Structure 1
Amino acid sequence: MLIATIGDRDPESKSAPMGPLLCAITLRPDRAVLIHTARSHVDYPANARATADRIRQSVPGCDAKCVLLEIDNPSKTSLLLERMPGILPRDLSERDEIHVCGTSGTPQMGLVLHLLAEARWGVKCVRHWQVLDPTRLPPGADRLTTLPLDRIWHHHDLQEALELLRQCRVAEALARLEPIAGPTKETGRVLDCARLVCRTLLLADAYQRQAITRLNDELQKNASQAVRSVAPRTSSLAEWYLKLARSGDRKLWAGELYARAARIAEADNVAQALVALATASEVAVAAYLKTHRGFDPESISPDALGKASAIWPDLKDRVRDGSQVDGQPSVHARATPGTETARPPRLEGWRNLYELLCKFENREADARLTAVANTRNGIVHAGTSEPSDSETLRRGLEAAAELQTSFGWPDPRTLPGHPHSVAAVAQELAKRAHIALDDL
C-alpha cells in the first residue's frame, strides 16, 4: 500500500510526476490512499481525484482512494496529530508492506504522516520515501529516494525548537537543539546558527561582565559563519550582539535590557518581565542623566549634586552617600555595612531616577511607568504577581519604549533582540531548513 499526501502541484508539474504519482509508478502498489484537505485557494480534492485517476491508468489494478483530512489549518502540527490518526487505514498489519510519501502538501502534513505510520505499523513494514523537486535535482540524482527515519525525527525536533525560539522560550529551545545532529549540510548550518542565537540571547540575559566576555568570545568564533550561511535577519542579530558585547555603552545596554524584558513577557513570565522592565528603565534614565545632564547617578560629583539639588531640594535626602535606595538601605550598603561613606554619593532606584529626570526636564510623570515601579516593588516583596499585572506590563512596555525614543535613541522595539525580531529569525531559519512553523 502507498499512503501519500496531496499538494497544490499534484499529480504533475511541468510534465513531471509529483510525489504520489511517481511513487505509485515506481513502486506499483496494490492500493493507494491519497490524503488531501478541503478546497481553499487550491482545489485539493480535484488534485487528489486527478492523481488517483493517473495512478489507476499507470498501475492497472491499483485501488486508489482519496481521503479528506478535515482540518482548518494543515500547517498546525498539534491539529494534525489530533485529526490524521482517524483517517489512516485500519486494515493493515505488520505483515503488510507500507510505503509512505509526505512530499506533497504542507511540510507538517508529511512530517506527521511519516511519524504516525512509523508509530502505528513499525519499522519492519514501513518504508519512507521522498521525491525531489525536478528543478533542484543534482545531475544524475534519482528523484525518488528513501527518507531516513532519523532525518524525520531531527526535522520534528528542529521544528519544535524553532517554535520555542519564536516564542522567546530560549532556554527550552536550546535544550531541544543541543542533541540534534544535522542530517544534511544545510540543516547543520541552520542548527549551528539556531544554537548560536539561543546561546547569545541567554548570555545577554545575564548582563554580567563575565557573561559579556563569554558572549564576545562566542560571537567572535561564530558570527562570521552565521553571516555567511544564513539570511539577513540572523546575520543582523549576530552582528548586533557582537557590537553590544564589545561595548560598555549604557545606552546600547538599556535598549537590550528593554528587549530582554519584552522577551520575558513574550514567554508569559509577567512577574519577571516587570522586574526586568524596571531595571531596563532605570539603566536608561541613569545613562541619559549622565550623558545629557552631567549627573552620574553612580558617582555624583559635588557640582552635579548642587545643581540637581537646586531643582529638587529633597535630592540630598535621597542620596545619603549612596546608602539609600527609594528610602531603603541600598544593596551596596547592606552588602558592605559600615563602608557606605567610602563610596561616592549615589542615587539608585527606578523611582528616584525617574523623579529626578522629571524635575530636570519639567516632565509630567507617566502613570504607566510609575505603575511599573510600584508593581515591581510589590512583586519583589511579596514574591508573586496579580492578574492585573499583565495590563501593567503591557502599558509599561509601551511607555518604556516611548521614554527611550524621547531621549533620541533608537526605538528598542526595533532592535534585533526584540521578540518581533527573534520570531523573524526563527522563521528565517525554519525556511532555510524547509520547515513551516505552526501559526500561533
Structure 2
Amino acid sequence: MQAVIVLLIFCASMVRWAMSIYMRLFKYRERPRRAPKEDFLSEALVDILSRMNRDEMISAVEQLFLTNSPRIHLWRERLQGDPGDPFIWSTQYQIEFDGVSARPDIVLMTHQREILLIVENKVNAAFQEHEIEPGDSEEPSVYRSQLKTYGQWLASRSLGGKSPDGLVLLTHSVPPPEGFGAGSLEYGVDDQLVVKWSSVYKWLVQNSSLHNSGTLVGGINLWRQLAGELTELLEDWGMSAEVMTQFDLSAAEVFAQSRDRISESFECFWPRVKSALSGVSIYSHQTWDFDSHGATMSDSVYLLEPQERRGSKWYLAWGVRFPSKSRWWDGLNPALPTTNHAYLSVVVERAGFPGFRRLSSKIPQGWAEAENGSELVIGEPLASFAGSAEEFTEKLGTWFVQGVETLKPALIEVQAGNW
C-alpha cells in the first residue's frame, strides 16, 4: 500500500492532473445543504501534520494555530518540553461533558492523552447546538453552542494553568460566535483563536514540495508533496483567498443581470410549496441561495421534528442543479438527469430513522434513495419546462408542487414519529 501511495504521488509530481489527489480521493457523499467538506479537510490536514517529524510539527502548530496567542511563550515551553513525549493528532475524538456526547473535528494530544488543542473546522456549515436541559410542555429546551461545550470540557481537564490549552475555530466563511476570541468565560479557556482557511492555504504553499526539500521517502517528501496537493484542492473549492478574484467578478457581472428575476421566481414557488405541505408542520422557511460548491440554486424548509419544538434534523429542498459542476448524488438509482435539471429532496438526519423505504407509506416512482435511505431525491430536465419565461416558471412551480403532494403521505408518517 505504501508503494502504491508513493507511486501515485510521484506521478502527480511529474504530471499536473486536472484534479488534485485529494479531489480524486474525495469519497464522502455530498448533497445540497450538507457537503462533508469539513470532515474531509480535517482528515487531510491531520494526515499531513501526522507525517511530520517532531520539530516540523511544533513549527506547524505555532505558525498555523498559535500565531495570535497571548501565551505563545507558554506554548513553546510546553511543545518543546519532553522530547520523549510524542504528540498525537486525532479526528472525531469523542468527549463527554455535562450530559453531552460530542466529537470535535481535530484534537492535538500528548502520548499520555493530555489534550492541548481542539480545532473546530467550519467551511460554511452552522454551529451545532447541544441540548443541555430538555424542555417540557411549559419550558423550552436549553441549548449550548458546541464551541462552549468543547472549551468548558477543556477547562474541566485543565492542570490549573501549568499547561496551556486552546480552542481554535478554523473557518472559511463562518464568522466566530458572539464573544469567542474576546476572552469570554463561557468558552472555558483563555486561548480562543480564529484561523482562516486562506491562511492555512498560504502556509501550505510556503511549505509544499515546490518550495522546500527535506527527509525523503522513496525520493519524495510525502507531507510536503501532499501539502502541494491540498493547496490545489483548496483552489478548486475556492478556499485559497478571502477576497474576490477576476473570475468572481466575471461571474458576478453575468449573475447581476439575473438575480432579481431568479428571486422573483423563488418567491412565487414558496407559497405554492407551502400550500402543498398542508398537513405537515413547518418549523422554519429558509430563503433561496446559490451554493457555489455544489452548483445549485435552491430554497428549503425545515419541518417540525417528532415530539420536539424545533427543526434542525430534517428538511425539504427544491431548486435547480447544474450537474456538470457538482458531484452530489452520483450513482443513484434511478439516476438524476445529466443535463441541468430541477430537483426536490427530503432529508432526515435523525438517529434510528429506518429509511423511507421501510415506511408504510409507498414511495412514488421516480424518487431515488440516498444516504442509506435517509434521503429521497427526484429530478427533471429543465428542457421539460420549455416555454416563455412565465410558462417556464409556472411549469417549474407545478412540478415542485406535484412532487411534494406525491410524497406528502411519507412526510406525515415521518413527522408522526411512528417508526
Mark the structure with the bigger radius of gyration.
1
TM-score normalised by the chain length of structure 1: 0.25
- Larger strand proportion of the pair: 2
Q: What's the TM-score once normalised by structure 2's chain length?
A: 0.26
Q: Which has the higher contact order (CA 8 A, sep 6+)?
A: 1
